[in-house]
Amino acid sequence: MSDQPVSQNAKRLSATRLGEFLGCAHKSALWLAGEPETDPADETQALLWAKGLEHEAAVLARLEQTAGASAVHIPTEGLPIEERIGLTQRAVEQGASIIYQGALLSERWIGFPDFLTRDANVEAPVYRPEDAKLSRKAKRDHLLQIGLYAELLNRTNGNPIADGVIHVAAPEPERFDLRETQYVTARLMRRFEAFAETKDKNTRAIRCAACERCGYKSRCEAEWRGADSPIFVAGLRSSQLLKMEAAGVTTMSKLASLGPGTASIPGIGDETLAKLIGQARLQKQAEQSGTHGVEALPVEQGKGFSLLPDPQVGDVFLDLEGDPLYPDGLEYLFGIYGPLTDPNEQEYRAFWAHDHDQEKAAFEAVMSAITAHLVKYPDARIYHYAQYEPAAFRRLAMRHATKEAELDQLLREHRFVDLYRVARQGIRASTESYSLKDLEKIYWGGRAGEVANAGDSIVQYEQWRTTQEASVLAEIKKYNEEDCVSTAKLRDWLVGLRPAGAHYQLHATGSDQDVASARSEAREEFERQRQELAARVRTSNVANKDVRELVAELLWFHQRSQKPQWWALFERQTWSDDELIDDAESLGGVVLDKTVPATTIKRSQVFTCRFPPQDTKLKAGSEPVLASDLGSAGTLESIVPEDGILTLKRGITRGAPPDRFSLLPGKPLDQRKLVAAVMNFADRFVSDDLSSDQALMAFLLRNPPKVRGVQRGQPLLSNGEDLLDGTIRVIRNLDRTTLFIQGPPGCGKTFVASHAIATLLKEGNRIAVSSNSHKAINKLLKEVEKRATETSLKFSGAKKASRDDPETEFEGQFITSVQSSDDIDSSYQLVGATVFHFAQEALNSYDYLFVDEAGQVALGNLVAMAGCADNLVLIGDQMQLALPIQGVHPGETGHSALDYLLQHQATIGADKGVLLNVTYRMHPTLCELVSDAIYDGRLTSDASTASRHLVLGANSHPALKDAGIVFANVEHDGCTQNSAEEAAAIRSTVSNLLTQEFHDADGTVRPLKLDDILIASPFNMQVNLLKRALPDGARVGTVDKFQGQEAPVVIVSMTTSHGDDAPRGTNFLFNRNRFNVAISRAQSLAIVVQSPRLQDVSAGSIEDLVRLNLFARAEATAIWR
């Protein structure tokens, strides 16, 4: 099946080798150079290989039974590869139903799909690649494999392959649309090809996730040891290593010899560098003396030893074992150790779970045991090492909707004690890491068990799931018990090291809205009523089972969405300043500027403070809390991140803030009224009294809109009907139902909505307008006022604003702001407000509820407010910025309103809603990419947009084109949240743009102005850098800030040097919706500025591949006029 002979000297590339390359390029370089792997595979890997062959045979039998035909077997042993390829080719030409163990070859690439199955629906022989995998869930490498096989099939037979199948060790195989990964697969193949062809590969050994099971592990470690590499310094990041080497600090000895407080390395903070120097020094001393050393660090309030309580008789020690390979993950072993029966005897107890039902039961049993234990020992604590255990408890409480109140109480009382934080912030040890296993070398000694670490336990557990050998579970249990005992020994050791001045400083934290204990009678009674209501919903005869389950689980939606916010506050309270500086939700290392006198405003004082460079979501108007005690810090009057200055307003009686402090996001809003609104709907649901909720029920059932004059199932708009007129006609004729209007970028959804509202007001209807933010509501209200003025319409409107927040107010000719919901009555024809107001309104108070930006409105919030109106009109686009929701929510309860309605569809069907499919913004060349990649090819440009383009002179920058999308590569390394190189390149590009001209839609040609250029970045730190680099007045901001805006030219600064170093992960950096918003702001030209290695991502998950596919597609098909 080869289309080109392979050189005798060229190694063939395969999917397996591609996966290795993505994990570690150095390993690939060694393999390509012919270096032998010296570390053999272990017994576990051999066992899994054998079990994999058994699974493959079982899959083959099922496929043959389904096809009703035997597979053509291609021999795998004793046959030259060329013959295997030829046999596969003949089997394809003969139209075999199944080809087993085929071989594919194209240029340097070779592939060995387990199965090629023929598509019976196509006359020509078209084959689907299918692979058998022993894991219970498909992984990235699996999808890459079948994607690569599809590419080879396409190259050799000329047939694009749309789908592939992975037969996992589960009842059903996983099916994939290979078009969602075809561009990134091709890009990764090209990248590996180029690497293989490069003579000087210039790689070196770098520690990575692939090291643990690599055949070159011993070789690389010996290389590092021989070079005295700083790579072994505990806590050193790879980005810091690069910066050290750039500064000439290439050995651990050199690092240890630097003077803390006097040495400096660009890009590494002085405090961080001092810690690394001290760590290197202690490790070198241990290396030279042969004895480990430990130092107690200076006592810091709220950190280190201040987080270590005095030992109590009833203290227990907790350790969990989890299997990430199980679908959705499984906590399969809960181990606790302590005086569980006899106060004078330490006892270990194991709770097993081998599926999610057992996981729930085990979690409940552990929580019940802990709760009962704390009644007996009220001063006891629960010790663990690192954050896995409390994070798992939080996840399980929400996943299974159980023991949430008890867990809240444990967290509020700071019962969980993380000994990792105590050790990491309280001592300096000479070990090469601060893992429990490494610290054991100092306080305990080595272990003798076969299971050496958590990674081994996962492999062993997966082995048990295949073999059911009791001895495997016994070994895992022994390992878990040793972890519990080790944690106890670590606690005792740390107590012995605690300096005299260190005192435990964490105390129970209450909340403003829930001061009562989790065990209070009122709370228990409310939960009992809610559980009873959920049971009645599930056993009712209303709607269908899926909707009943949805409504039942929505009773806990608001509680679940808030819990992570509370839990994050408790957790961040123990973080160091450095960790809070790295956390975008917080603001770390703030210092009161005593050189600036406080100013007095009425009964408050305003203090000036300074902070180090960092990315933060806190903004003016925020009401953060102090990390030290979660007390109110006051109100952020102003914040200028680029200058590191903020002003903080505090009541006079509270005085000045501390000299040094960190800020955390404020406490969650009181959502009890929203919970009550959902419960009221559930009450009506179980009573089958839904006459007031017909629109909401139509939405929950995903029924097509009920429109007078339109037959159910037919397109809502007539063929050739004007979009604006037709949409208004449909809205006017809604009959107690829900309509979705999808507005892709530049399609005028606000324009259409405002025209519709004005028409409805003129006809005497009462209208409610809501959204996820006051800003979005005010924007639509402003457009409604414009329409009213244009049509001489007069009406009375109110906007419910938040007290003491001027940004939420709206004052217009017809609409005025009110501060209290009590001031809104039926005399107002139009009311704009958030869900907090409409959830309290009487049923059917309005004829229509318009919900703008519905893609960012939670399903639970829509249910809370939908009853206020006869008809629901949802406006938005689920393919743009998505709902930022927290918490673990069962089923579809955590979806936005639009994600629930569309079920992963990119566009709404013609019979289900209205797609505004004409953009009045984007030039056709740019629209082509956005339409094909995002909107199912259904988006077109208005004819006027073709006239909009740049008029480039002879001096134009090489990155500039007159219209379309281009990628501009800028070399840089080690950048995460800011890049001076990209800022300089953008400054040069902007300067050049200002010497060019723009041809507008009306035919005029004019000079480009600064206001014609929009510059966006995912990161606030890069935004701040760009503001300093560009002329005053430049339109610079994060992508989120610019939704709804446009400009002739958009420049997107991706900032991060390498995708694997993205501070918020690839999900943030390569987010499809955010990229769509970014490039679609452009009327003519979108310029994506990136490091050439930005997309060289290891892509650790299937989701990563899908996200990267859009970028790879945009780059591969970058188009211009």
Using CA atoms of 437, 442, 448, 454 in order, give the dihedral in degrees to the nearest 10.
-10
Whether the per-residue pLDDT at 517 is higher than 50: the answer is no
Q: Give residue 511's pLDDT.
A: 42
Q: Give residue 510's pLDDT.
A: 45
Q: Give residue 520's pLDDT.
A: 57
Pairing of strands 1082-1090, 964-969: parallel
- At 86, which amino acid appears? G
Contacts of 432 (CB under 8 A, 6+ apart): 232, 233, 234, 283, 438
Phi, psi of 663 (to 5 degrees): -110, 140
Q: What angle do CA 395, 398, 400 make, to 5 degrees?
A: 105
- Which residue's entry shows tokens 């806590």? 235
Alpha-carbon distance 828 to 797, whole Å? 5
pLDDT (average), residues 757-769? 98
Q: Give residue 892's pLDDT.
A: 94
pLDDT band at 269 (very low <50, low <70, confident <90, very high): confident
Burial class (CB in 10 A: 0-12, 13-18, 19+), 474: exposed
Phi, psi of 949 (to 5 degrees): -165, 160
Using CA atoms of 303, 307, 310, 312 in order, give the dihedral in degrees to the nearest 10.
-170
Whether the per-residue pLDDT at 209 is higher than 80: the answer is no
Using CA atoms of 152, 155, 156, 159 in order, give the dihedral in degrees to the nearest 10.
100
The one-character DSSP state at 650 is E
> Contact at 8 Å (CB) between 681 and 700?
no
513-527, 694-708, 721-735, 979-993, range with the lowest pLDDT: 513-527
In the sheet where 949-951 sits, what is the strand order?
949-951, 997-999, 1005-1007
Q: Give residue 515's pLDDT.
A: 42
pLDDT band at 1066 (very low <50, low <70, confident <90, very high): confident
Q: What angle do CA 665, 666, 669 make, to 5 degrees?
A: 130
Alpha-carbon distance 478 to 481, whole Å? 5
Token pair recorded at residue 936:
């199912």
Q: Give residue 910's pLDDT.
A: 97
Alpha-carbon distance 151 to 159, whole Å? 9
Token pair recorded at residue 896:
């936005």
Q: Give residue 1008's pLDDT.
A: 97
Q: What angle do CA 954, 958, 960 make, to 5 degrees?
A: 85
Token pair recorded at residue 469:
């050998």
pLDDT band at 763 (very low <50, low <70, confident <90, very high): very high
Alpha-carbon distance 584 to 594, whole Å? 26
Q: For domain 693-916, give its CATH number from 3.40.50.300, 2.40.50.140, 3.40.50.11030, 3.40.630.40.
A: 3.40.50.300
Whether the per-residue pLDDT at 76 is higher than 90: the answer is no
Token pair recorded at residue 519:
């065990």
> Contact at 8 Å (CB) between 110 and 81?
yes
Counting residues of the chain whose pLDDT is more than 90, the rounded percentage is 70
Longest dimension (CA), the chain: 91
Token pair recorded at residue 525:
């009674």
Query: 725 by DSSP, 3-state: which?
Result: helix
Alpha-carbon distance 383 to 26, whole Å? 40
Using CA atoms of 428, 432, 433, 436 in order, give the dihedral in degrees to the nearest 10.
-90
| Torsional sign, CA 825, 831, 834, 838 | positive
pLDDT (average), residues 356-383? 96
**How many of the other CB atoms lie within 10 Å of CB of 586?**
24
Same topology between domain 693-916 and domain 924-1116: yes
Q: Where are the alpha helices (DSSP H) in 110-264?
A: 140-157, 182-197, 217-226, 238-246, 252-257
Q: Give residue 157's pLDDT.
A: 82
Compute the chain's Rg from CA coordinates. 31
451-485: pLDDT as tens digits: 556 667 887 887 788 778 888 899 999 999 999 99
Residues found in the chain: 1121
CATH architecture of the domain 227-275 equals: Orthogonal Bundle (1.10)
Q: Give residue 457's pLDDT.
A: 80
> Contact at 8 Å (CB) between 272 and 578?
yes
Q: Enumerate the domain spans of the chain.
A: 15-197, 227-275, 304-497, 521-555, 564-661, 693-916, 924-1116
> Contact at 8 Å (CB) between 942 and 920?
yes
411-423: pLDDT as tens digits: 888 899 999 999 9
Alpha-carbon distance 534 to 549, whole Å? 8
1025-1056: pLDDT as tens digits: 999 999 999 999 998 888 889 999 999 999 99
User: Where are any strands of DSSP class E within 726-882?
Assistant: 738-742, 767-770, 797-800, 815-818, 830-832, 846-851, 869-876
Regarding predicted confidence, which is higher, 214 or 51?
A: 214
- Which residue's entry shows tokens 């643990």? 212
Chain centroid to Cα 621, Å, comes to 26
Pairing of strands 869-876, 964-969: unpaired
Q: Give residue 959's pLDDT.
A: 84
Regarding predicted confidence, which is higher, 537 or 464?
A: 537
Regarding predicted confidence, which is higher, 567 or 350?
A: 350
Whether the per-residue pLDDT at 654 is higher than 90: the answer is no
Q: Give residue 749's pLDDT.
A: 96
Taking CA atoms, 552 is separated from 312, 421, 557, 684, 868, in Å, by: 42, 39, 10, 12, 21
In the sheet where 330-338 sits, what is the strand order?
347-352, 330-338, 316-323, 382-384, 416-418
Chain centroid to Cα 438, Å, comes to 31
Most confident of 701-705, 1092-1096, 1112-1116: 701-705
pLDDT (average), residues 399-412? 86
> Contact at 8 Å (CB) between 582 and 237?
no
Alpha-carbon distance 361 to 353, whole Å? 8
DSSP codes, 635-648: EEEEEETTTTEEEE
Q: Give residue 132's pLDDT.
A: 95
Whether the per-residue pLDDT at 514 is higher than 60: the answer is no
- Which residue's entry shows tokens 């209501």? 533
Mean pLDDT for the chain overall: 91
Query: 729 by DSSP, 3-state: which?
Result: helix
**How many of the other CB atoms lie within 10 Å of CB of 8?**
5
- Per the CATH hierarchy, to which homologous superfamily does domain 924-1116 belong? P-loop containing nucleotide triphosphate hydrolases (3.40.50.300)
771-782: pLDDT as tens digits: 999 999 999 999
pLDDT band at 1119 (very low <50, low <70, confident <90, very high): low
Query: 721 by DSSP, 3-state: which?
Result: coil
pLDDT band at 832 (very low <50, low <70, confident <90, very high): very high
DSSP codes, 958-986: TT--SSEEEEEE----S-SS--HHHHHHH
Token pair recorded at residue 37:
């792997």
Q: Give residue 516's pLDDT.
A: 41
- At 872, which amino acid appears? L
> Contact at 8 Å (CB) between 272 and 466?
no
Taking CA atoms, 349 is separated from 356, 391, 478, in Å, by: 20, 21, 11
Q: Give residue 507's pLDDT.
A: 60
pLDDT band at 446 (very low <50, low <70, confident <90, very high): low
Contacts of 14 (CB under 8 A, 6+ apart): 109, 110, 111, 112, 148
Q: What residues form DSSP beta bridges with 1051? A: 1015, 1087
687-714: pLDDT as tens digits: 998 999 999 999 999 999 999 999 998 9
pLDDT band at 137 (very low <50, low <70, confident <90, very high): confident
pLDDT (average), residues 962-984? 93
- Per the CATH hierarchy, to which homologous superfamily does domain 304-497 belong? Ribonuclease H-like superfamily/Ribonuclease H (3.30.420.10)
